Amino acid sequence: MKKYYKKIFNYFKEKKWQILIYFISSFLIVGTNTIVPALSAKGLEAITNLDLYNMLKCALLIFVVECVHSLISIFNNDASSKIQDDVELKIKADVSRELFKLEMKNFDKEGTGFFAERINQEPRALASIFQRIRYNFIDIFTSLGIMIYICYVNLYLGLYFLIISLIIFIFDIRRTKKWEKERKTYYEMNEKYVSNFGELIRGIKDIKVLNLKNYLIKKTTKNQEELIRYNYEIQKEDRKFYFMENIFYDLKELLLIVVCIILIKNNLLNGANLLIVYMYRNRATGFINSLSSIYRDLKDFNLSIERLYEVIDGVKYPKEKFGNMKIKDIKGNIEFKNVYFKYDDNSVINGVSFKIRPCETIGIVGASGAGKSTIFNLISKLYTVNEGNIYIDGVDINKLDEETIRNGISTITQNPYIFNTSIKENLLMVNPSASDKEIKEKCHLCLLDEYINTLKDKYETKLGENGVILSGGLKQRLAIARALIKNSKIILFDEATSSLDNETQDYIHSSIKKIRKDYTIIIIAHRLSTVVDCDKILVVDKGKIVGFDTHQNLINNNAVYKRLYKKELVK
């Protein structure tokens, strides 16, 4: 935890002036909070003695001190807010960067909602530590000031309050230790609920179409009910604790009266001092409640650090690993050499070897679950091989830096993600320096510009969430244009045309034909008819390569390919 503390407090170091203002103003607030009870006590004594001059004097002094207190509080609140907001922003920015370094298998296992909850919840909890401790910090020193004043007024009563405070503190610490375990379990259950609810929102279109709303709402409600039940159990424990605490506080009041009576009988306490002590009796032990709150806040702070760094330290959730070699201009050579890959304990790719030359167009075919998409994920290094090697232009992919891989390889899926912004901005995201002329040329190459010119706002047209105004074919053509503007030399089509009608499919094929002479293109095919004119076709069966040749040669010599092709003809 020590190294995590250091990392977190590095964020606070950058706000040293605000922290200085915060602490100075906090001590001044403590001073005013301590002075007011003392002045009130003097005023009370003056009222008892009907000393009108000192009554007015104390009232004026209290007014001045309270005004100063209010002014200082403004500076204190402002400094605290700036610290919290800036630190939360920086932690979230850094965590977001680290989140993108995680291996894809983490998201496959946990779901995106799990990580979304942590990136939203934990930075806020960590950044708010000043805000959370602030009031308790002020209360502690204010109460200590009052305690010192009570000791000054009557040492016996001061000792009584110290003993009571120690008992309360031990009681609170025991409760906090149990609360810490409950809190951790609650967070885990809440993440499960948020993750499921997130899936509900992300898949709302399919849920409507499939009429799954009742089923999924029931499932989500069940998770929420479990969360509520557990939270109720925590509150039940708290209610028991607070019941016992209230009984103790009532007993404390009774004992205080008994002690005061004994002191008065023995001439160790007078009426005026009794009134002062009784007036501030609750604030005298307030510092113990504040200490307990700080202890609980620090435990919560530790839990947030632990949960945050579970995500970003790469131990529980592994991060992607890249080398430092850079290829300035990728040619497009790809080679798999005896590659094995397991997903958990399930073997997906078994001893795969093949070579692809620059500017070749290659099809990949095979039954569902044969390992086609996994080959794509390995080429783009979304997953890392367990054994064997993958080479890009003769360099082991594990030695290449992230920029070379991510810029050099693009994947076009059945439903590519389109950002909720304009057509132009969707394209500029991948290459901010691209000119309008270059954007139009790439869109023309992808048979997209004709459609764009029919739109009222043309390239400035807003596309809505995930390109809602675009058809599936238009989304894919935009994704192809995005890959070209990104200058990716290797373009992977992951069953990109399987869900399209024949006319739209022809548009996509025409787009691919226009670019194939300049790019290495690999196409995973659901329909074999879409890859018959590829330079070669890779046949995958149960994680192994069982054929790699032209369509005609495979038809003549490869039983697996022939079976797949005949099955399609029957359809």
pLDDT tens, N- to C-terminus, the chain (571 residues): 566 677 777 777 777 788 888 888 888 887 887 787 777 777 777 777 778 888 888 889 989 988 998 898 888 888 877 887 888 888 888 887 888 888 887 777 776 767 777 777 777 777 777 666 766 777 777 777 778 878 888 888 888 888 888 888 887 777 777 776 777 777 777 766 666 666 666 666 556 655 666 766 777 777 777 777 877 777 777 777 777 877 887 888 888 889 888 988 888 888 777 777 777 777 777 777 777 777 777 777 777 787 788 777 777 788 888 889 998 888 889 999 999 998 877 888 999 999 999 989 999 988 887 888 889 889 989 888 989 999 999 999 999 998 888 888 888 887 788 888 888 998 888 888 889 999 998 888 888 888 888 988 898 988 887 677 888 778 888 888 888 888 888 988 887 555 555 656 666 677 777 777 888 989 887 777 778 888 999 999 888 999 999 989 998 888 888 888 887 655 5
Q: Does one domain contain both 421 and 451?
A: yes
Residue at token pair 């090697």:
389
Q: Does one domain contain both 300 and 341?
A: no
Q: Confirm whether 324 is domain-assigned.
A: no
Three-state SS for 435?
A: coil
Q: Confirm whether 365 is domain-assigned.
A: yes
Rounded to whole angstroms, the Cα distance separating 103 from 79 reads 39
Q: Does one domain contain both 556 and 435?
A: yes
Q: Does one domain contain both 233 and 350?
A: no
Q: Does one domain contain both 203 and 162?
A: yes
Q: Confirm whether 318 is domain-assigned.
A: no
Last residue of a domain, one of 265, 282, 312: 312
Q: Does one domain contain both 247 and 363?
A: no
CATH number at residue 521: 3.40.50.300
CATH number at residue 149: 1.20.1560.10
Buried b (16+ CB within 10 A) or exposed e, 315-331: eebebbebeeeebeebb
Q: Confirm whether 325 is domain-assigned.
A: no
CB 398 within 8 A of CB 367: no
The phi, psi pair for 386, rounded to 5°, reads -85, -35
Which of these, 538, 446, 535, lies nearest to 485 by C-alpha position? Answer: 446
How many distinct helices (H) and strands (E) make up the chain? 21, 10
The phi, psi pair for 205, rounded to 5°, reads -65, -50
Last residue of a domain, one of 280, 312, 344: 312
Provide the residue range defining the domain that includes 308: 2-8+16-312
Q: Does one domain contain both 223 and 254?
A: yes
Q: Does one domain contain both 171 and 299?
A: yes
Q: Does one domain contain both 538 and 406?
A: yes
Which of these, 525, 40, 476, lies nearest to 277 by C-alpha position? Answer: 40
Q: Does one domain contain both 290 and 413?
A: no
Kindly compute the dihedral angle of the four CA atoms of residues 63, 65, 67, 71, in this order, to the nearest 10 degrees: 180
Q: Confirm whether 101 is domain-assigned.
A: yes
The phi, psi pair for 522, rounded to 5°, reads -125, 130
Q: Confirm whether 75 is domain-assigned.
A: yes
Domain count, the chain: 2
Collect all residues with Cβ–Cβ distance below 8 Å to 303 and sequence separation of at least 6: 180, 183, 184, 187
Q: Does one domain contain both 451 and 375?
A: yes
Specify the pairing of strand 346-356 against strand 395-396.
Answer: unpaired
Three-state SS for 403?
A: helix
Q: How far apart are the first and last CA of the chain?
A: 61
Q: Confirm whether 317 is domain-assigned.
A: no
Rounded to whole angstroms, the Cα distance separating 538 from 545 reads 7
Q: List Cβ<8 Å contacts ≥24 apart for 274-281.
A: 275/44, 275/48, 276/41, 276/44, 276/45, 276/150, 276/153, 277/150, 277/153, 277/154, 277/157, 279/40, 279/41, 279/44, 280/37, 280/41, 280/146, 280/149, 280/150, 281/161, 281/253, 281/256
CB 364 within 8 A of CB 540: yes
Last residue of a domain, one of 281, 312, 343: 312
Please tell me the pTM assigned to this model.
0.68
Q: Does one domain contain both 305 and 354?
A: no
Rounded to whole angstroms, the Cα distance separating 514 from 528 reads 20
Q: Confirm whether 323 is domain-assigned.
A: no
Cβ-based neighbour number of residue 234 at 10 Å: 15
Tell me the two tokens of residue 311: 């995500």
Three-state SS for 501?
A: coil
Rounded to whole angstroms, the Cα distance separating 397 from 416 reads 25
